[in-house]
Amino acid sequence: MDQLAMKKIAAQAALQYVKPDTIVGVGSGSTVNCFIEALGSIKDQIKGAVAASKASEELLKKQGIEVFTTNDVSQLDIYVDGADEINSQKMMIKGGGAALTREKIVAALAKKFICIVDTSKQVDVLGSTFALPIEVIPMARSQVARKLVALGGSPEYREGVITDNGNVILDIYNFEIMQPIEMEKELNNIAGVVTNGIFAQRCADIVIIGTPDGAKIIE
C-alpha cells in the first residue's frame, strides 16, 4: 500500500472525533489535505473550521466549509494535524510545510489534539529522520544560526521560503532531541526565534496511524 493510501485511511478515521455543530481546528500538510477532503463529506453537520495555514484555508473554502479565524473562537473541541515525526510519548516535530507557528496557536485552542500520520512518521527519538524547523525573524537569522551551532546543531536556511507570518525558516540537521520539552523551551528563549517545530509541551492526545491493515488508534 502506498503512502497516500495510508494517509487517507488515517484522515478518514479522524472523522469519528468530529462532533456536530462544532468548529474544527485544521492543520496543514499532505495528510491534512486528505482530512479536509473527508471533512467536506460532512460539511453540513459542522459550523466550520479554523485553519492553521493559508493553503488549508483555501482548501476548506473549496470544500464549501466556512472558515473562522482564531480570534473568532475561545476554544476548539478538536484540532486535527499531521506530523513530520512522532515518538511514543505523542510528541512531534512539525513545520515541514513552514506553518509551525500557526499550528501551535490553533493547537493551543483545542481541548483535544488528534495527530494523523502514516507509519513512516514514527520514530524513537525526535530529530532522527527529519530536520527541526525554526521560524525566525529575518533580521535575526544569522544570530540565531550561531546559537543553534553552539547547541550542537547544523542549521540551514530554507531558501525561497517565507512563512504566512512573513518570517524565514532555519532547519536544524544532525540534532537528536533527547529531552523534547526542555529543548522546546530553550530554543524558544533565543532572541529572534518566533517558535520551533517541537510539539512537546502541547503534544497529541490521540494518534491515528494509517497502516495497510487499517487505522491504528492510540489514545
81 is in an annotated binding site: yes
Q: Among residues 151, 99, 158, 90, which one has the least CA distance to residue 121?
A: 90
Query: Using an 8 Å Cβ cutoff, are 48 and 40 in contact?
Result: no
83 is in an annotated binding site: yes
Pick the catalytic residue from 85, 103, 135, 184: 103
Is 184 catalytic? The answer is no
Neighbours of 120 (CB within 10 A): 14
82 is in an annotated binding site: yes
95 is in an annotated binding site: yes
Q: Among residues 8, 41, 25, 13, which one has the least CA distance to residue 207?
A: 13
25 is in an annotated binding site: no
19 is in an annotated binding site: no
Lay out the sheet containing 214-218: strands in order across: 67-68, 48-51, 23-26, 76-81, 110-118, 206-211, 214-218
Q: Which region holds residue 147: left if phi is over 0, alpha if psi is between -120 and 50, else beta?
A: alpha
31 is in an annotated binding site: yes
> How does strand 85-86 pair with strand 92-93?
antiparallel
Query: Using an 8 Å Cβ cutoff, are 95 and 83 in contact?
Result: no
96 is in an annotated binding site: yes
Q: How large is the greatest C-alpha to C-alpha distance in the chain, in angstroms?
A: 52
Beta bridge partners of 49: 24, 67
13 is in an annotated binding site: no
- Known catalytic residues are 103
Q: Which residues are annotated as a binding site?
A: 28-31, 81-84, 94-97, 121
Q: Which residues are annotated as a binding site for substrate?
A: 28-31, 81-84, 94-97, 121
